[in-house]
Amino acid sequence: MTDFIATMDAGVVDWARAQFALTAIYHWIFVPLTLGLAMVMGIMETMYYRTGSEVWKQTTKFWQKLFGINFCVGIATGLALEFEFGTNWSNYSYLVGDVFGAPLAIEGIVAFFMESTFVAVMFFGWNRVSKGFHLASTWLTGLGATLSAWWILVANAWMQHPVGQQFNPDTLRNEMTSFCEVALSPVAIDKFVHTVLSTWVLGAVFVVGISSWYLLKKRQTEFAQKSLRVGAIFGLIASALLMASGDHSAYTVAQTQPMKLAAMEGLYKGGTEQSLTVFAAINPFAQPDYENEDESEMKIALPYALSYLSTRDINGFVPGVRDILDGYTKEDGTRELSLEEKMERGKCAIAALQEYRKARKENAPEEFLTLLNDEIQENMPYFGYGYVSERAQVVPYIPVCFYAFRIMVGGGCLFILLFISVLFFLHKRTIAQARWLMGLALLCIPIAYIVSECGWLVAEFGRQPWTIQDMLPTWVGISQVESSAVITTFFLFLALFTTLLVVEINIMCKAIKKGPQL
């Protein structure tokens, strides 16, 4: 063991993870609507700029008001989330803060300040600045919000696939060697594109749902139909792009995090010509016996689809949970080490690091230190496995990954049908009579939030047990704190964030009931 890591009891780890999950889930309630509405109000103000119609102006101002309410409340949860890295995950922050902190610092200094500057012009600049400058401010507000998401997602992507860094045994820290490699890694790009597109879909569902409420109430029908058209067209385009990005994201996950893909698919024993499971009877309340059982026979699957999704070859080999644990040969002929081999390599890295630290204090010859450092760097990709004691620790909780993934994909298909149906009835000019569709659109608002949260459940549960993939398990990255302190703050945050959510929903509902000032 290195001297900067203390052994923590399971209670601290579990409660720290629960607190971070709580904060992240609440924060993600506000973020997607912010990003989605930013695009919608930009499109609507562009329509106002081109037509000069007062209806488009008031339509824009209405959605901007809802954007502003959501934006203000979302900031509080985001700030708490970043502070938790220091309070509950100090070992993690110490080890990788030089890399992980860079994108977060840029997000705070550049993107957030840009966003907050132009949002003031957007809200208070009507009739004070030119129409063109105000339109630019609206789009730049959305761009600032999107840039904020970019840098946060870069940080998260680095945790999923650490690149552009090297471990320094003298400081016990990972130090950045290539900023571009961190910021532009394939995982970061895929995560950004897929996540932002998902927020656009949620924003479109929100606009379509709220507009449908006005039609059901037979209020502001011109505003509602204009908003419906924009929301449905924007949502359909975003959904099509989301499907394409999802396909590429799945391929990237297969290359970089095969255990996550195996958990998403409930694939215990892999092979060639693998089918993609549409649905299977997996017990949602217990981890399956993946070591001894085969996949459920009660399933619906698409032949060859998983192999193609993972390798771009219908005959490609896809490893299952047992293959990853036991080791397997990749498509390019290289061999993936077994878990036991990775654990041994990880222990070698830890032992070499301890010896290096001791030798450095004793002023050992540089040649000897160089040899130890070479051994550390050679085994560093498996450093985290040195703290693993049993096979079950490196397998994510399969039921959550499996069902959350299918809820995410199923919800996306539902929204595509919703957007197409809305556009069809708008084209037929019978949208006001399709009250069942308006009711469905309204129901889709909470469904969209569930689907959005499920996407993050897949991303984060599928990465377990790693705070940083293969480098740092959760039980090593924790702070030296008492479990009582984490429990107390957990319930304080639960009360605070729930209050904020209730307040936001109440204010939003009042603004919606009041409606646009037409």
Sorting pLDDT into bands at 50, 70 and 90, what band is 10? Answer: low
Q: Are 422 and 232 in contact (CB under 8 A)?
A: yes
**pLDDT of 113:** 76
Mean predicted confidence (pLDDT) in 120-130: 89
Q: Are 145 and 137 in contact (CB under 8 A)?
A: no
Mean predicted confidence (pLDDT) in 309-319: 91
Q: How far apart are CA 155 and CA 263, in angstroms?
A: 23
- CA angle centred on 251, ends 245 and 256, rounded to 5°: 120
Q: Is 81 helix (H, G, I), strand (E, B) or coil?
A: helix
What amino acid occupies position 11? G
Which residues are CB-neighbours of 410 under 8 A, at least 6 positions away? none
**pLDDT of 264:** 93
What amino acid occupies position 222? E
What crossing angle do the helices spanning 112-124 and 54-87 adopt, rounded to 10°? 150
Q: Are 329 and 336 in contact (CB under 8 A)?
A: yes
Q: Is 334 helix (H, G, I), strand (E, B) or coil?
A: coil
Report the run of H or E that residue 40 belongs to, with start and end: helix 10-51
DSSP 170-229: TTTEEEES-HHHHHT-HHHHHHHHHHHHHHHHHHHHHHHHHHHHHHHTT-SHHHHHHHHH
Report the run of H or E that residue 271 belongs to, with start and end: strand 271-272
Q: How far apart are CA 290 and CA 476, in angstroms?
A: 26
Q: How far apart are CA 112 and CA 195, in angstroms?
A: 18
**pLDDT of 1:** 44
- What mean pLDDT, rounded, does the chain reach? 90
Q: Are 405 and 261 in contact (CB under 8 A)?
A: no
- Given a cut of 80, whether residue 455 has pLDDT beyond it is yes
Domain positions in the chain are 10-257+397-514, 265-284+293-336, 339-387
Q: How far apart are CA 518 and CA 512, in angstroms?
A: 13
Give the 3-state secondary structure of 483-498: HHHHHHHHHHHHHHHH
**pLDDT of 104:** 84
Instruction: Among 82-86, 113-117, 118-122, 487-491, name the one with the lowest average pLDDT.
Output: 113-117
Q: How far apart are CA 309 and CA 274, in angstroms?
A: 10
Q: What is the CA radius of gyration of the chain?
A: 25
Phi, psi at 316, each rounded to 5°: -65, 150
- Given a cut of 70, whether residue 9 has pLDDT beyond it is no
The pLDDT tens digits for 420-441 are 999 999 998 888 888 999 999 9
**pLDDT of 71:** 86
Q: How far apart are CA 46 and CA 66, in angstroms?
A: 18
Report the helix count and the strand count for the chain, using DSSP H and E: 16, 10
Q: Are 457 and 400 in contact (CB under 8 A)?
A: yes
Of 381, 465, 475, 469, the C-alpha closest to 159 is 469
Query: What predicted TM-score, i.e. pTM, was given to this entire model?
Result: 0.92
Mean predicted confidence (pLDDT) in 473-486: 88
Instruction: Among 20-29, 68-77, 202-211, 390-399, name the one with the lowest average pLDDT.
Output: 68-77
- Given a cut of 90, whether residue 406 has pLDDT beyond it is yes
The DSSP bridge partners found for residue 279 are 300
Q: Are 172 and 6 in contact (CB under 8 A)?
A: no
For 430, counting Cβ atoms within 10 Å of its Cβ (0-12 exposed, 13-18 middle, 19+ buried), the class is exposed
Instruction: Among 96-105, 202-211, 223-232, name the one with the lowest average pLDDT.
Output: 96-105
For the chain, give percent helix, strand, coil, nearest 5: 70, 5, 20
